[in-house]
Amino acid sequence: MYSSEVVIKRDEGLHARPATFFIQKANQFESSIWIETDSRKVNAKSLLGVLSLGIMKDATINIIANGTDEQDAVNALVALVNSNFVE
């Protein structure tokens, strides 16, 4: 298992469009991937799950992956968040 924390800097938070980019990137990896914030943890490959967290600007999330490409998955998702969801 590999994880990393990252802060959401996008003004709108992790709403529909950036969440879609996040999920598309997560689905490129074989590992199981989760987003954890506060005490809630959801599948990072599920749009409804990610949106249900209601992640706002300046929220800290923990991206967790478990599998053969876990480190690559987490690093790619952290990079996407840090790029403000610009591909």
- Residues tagged active-site: 15
Report d(CA 87, CA 19) in Å as an integer: 13
Three-state DSSP class for residue 21: helix
Q: Which residues of 10-43 are buried (b: 16+ CB within 10 A; e: fewer)?
A: beebbeeebbebbbebbeebebbbbbbbeeeebe
Three-state DSSP class for residue 33: strand
